[in-house]
Structure 1
């Protein structure tokens, strides 16, 4: 009977001794479960990971669409047209079908009777909807001589441009035709007045040795070098004839040396549409709208 009594005394002692080990092992099992989840959790983990990778790729793709690659950047040369006629859906379609889609369209500010219709806000909106930029031309004179005359014409050009809501920094091109008398004083007055405004000075014309415009410009620059730095040149020389966009010529305009020669009207009076054809350096973009 003594051994039964001894055994009954030992059992509680043994239980008290092994109980801490049992508790520790149970906690270890739980900790292990946290570190090494069972197989049933892996599909969920893989799914979340794959979804995260998919979202990451979608974000990268969206970002790339807002950051054009080098191929999508503005080309060095831009094909464009100009017209004395109002730009409407019919003229746009004619130009597109026969010649191509222009990047720039030159239009006259203010109507000149029997010569050109004035640019309107409706035209601007239409051209902008087609992602075509507008180049501004002023032609309300036939005499390009005299300093005060140059300033007067510039003031009128500024007024007409402001009425159209044209933003600052855009160039206004004085249209000096080959038959107009011209001197350096007119160019000085034109540039001086525009330099004091929100707009930039531009001159369009035949800049070749046979035309008086080139000599007048060079004389103006010799007296005031800032004229060369502040005046955008759009030349109509040499004349090669109208082409479509695909067959545009190599960019070889003729104009004043070291000038801001950014535009070249190489073809006039297209057969199928009332337009002239041009090539522009992309440097002209900031001066168009």
Structure 2
């Protein structure tokens, strides 16, 4: 066989093999896990609700029948008149019996300013948590509503007190760009910003059933532990809001 014939056969082989190699490469690339908007591969997202009402069997069944089976349920520490009913042992047992994780919220203030005030509110939250037997390592979310005055000093007092306790510091609020809340957070020291769990209520979509929940797309402070998103407010069927949570949030919940 002449040299030209050998070159011809090699070229023919490459011509035949090229489409197969290209198809293999494209298939391999398509099999790579897609990154979510937080840059993490194969992120599991959990659907849940929060409620200011006592979670009795009727409310749980309402959520189950109209929205789906919740994996997380946010509830408040202690009664706040005309606002929220505090979590009790019957609720805890009922939710845990249904394999629902509890997200713990504290809302006994309407002014989030001042270091000493942050310390006082955190101490009260810790007392409520201890009275309920909430285990070590669970986060307590300070509820800072959009109409509350807020400053960095309060956040620092809240953070310092909780981080020195058996519980973890966490904050809830509408962390929209330009708000007093997000500006106060950005002004905090690096330790606080990188070690406070954030549950944001921004942006707002509509309340949905579990199967129709939006893609996980919360907005909050840059480089923060934004592990939860309250995307839908005030359901008409049941007294709940709807939420999505990242894997990492599970480490800060009261698990069954």
Q: Which range, TM-score by smaller chain?
A: 0.7 to 0.9
- 8 Å CA contact retained: 2:76, 2:104: yes
RMSD: 1.0
Matching of residue 157 in structure 1 with residue 125 in structure 2: yes
SS in 2 for 1:175: strand
Decide which of 73, 80, 83 is 1:112's aligned counterpart.
Answer: 80
Alignment partner of 2:92: what SS?
helix
Distance 1:130 1:203 in 2: 26
Larger radius of gyration: 1
1:183 aligns with 2:151: yes
Distance in 2 between residues matched to 1:127 and 1:75, nearest whole Å = 25
**Structure 2 Cα separation of the partners of residues 75 and 105 of structure 1:** 20
Aligned counterpart, 2:110: 142
* 1:210 CA displacement: 3.7
Aligned length: 213
SS at match of 1:249: coil
Question: Which structure 2 residue ranges, 5 or more long, are not aligned?
Answer: 1-41
CA shift digits 1:71-123 (9 cap, x unpaired)? xxx97100000000000100011001100111000000000000000000110
Q: What are the equivalent positions in structure 2 for 1:192-231 lying under 5 Å apart? A: 192-220=160-188, 224-231=189-196
Q: Which has the higher contact order (CA 8 A, sep 6+)?
A: 2
- Aligned position for 2:3: none
1:263 CA drift (Å): 0.3
Measure, in 2, the Cα distance between the counterparts of 1:210 and 1:238. Answer: 13
1:248 aligns to what? 213
Give the 3-state SS of the residue equivalent to 2:145 in structure 1: coil
Q: SS of the residue aligned with 1:257?
A: coil
TM-score by length of 1: 0.73
Unaligned segments of structure 1, at least 5 residues = 1-73
2:140 to 172, 183, 186: 172
Correspondences of 1:44-63 after superposition (within 5 Å): none
Encode CA deviations 1:118-164: one digit per residue, 9 max, x unaligned.
Answer: 00011000000000000000000000000000000000000000000
1:278 correspondence with 2:243: yes
Partner residue in 2 for 1:67: none
Shift in Å at residue 229 of structure 1? 2.4
Q: Does 1:82 align with 2:50?
A: yes
Find the residue that maps to 2:187 and give its secondary structure: helix
Query: What is aligned with 1:34?
Result: none
Q: Is the 8 A contact 2:194 2:223 kept in 1?
A: no
Shift of 1:282: 1.3
Structure 1 residue 286 displacement after superposition: 1.3
Structure with more of its chain in helix, by fraction: 1
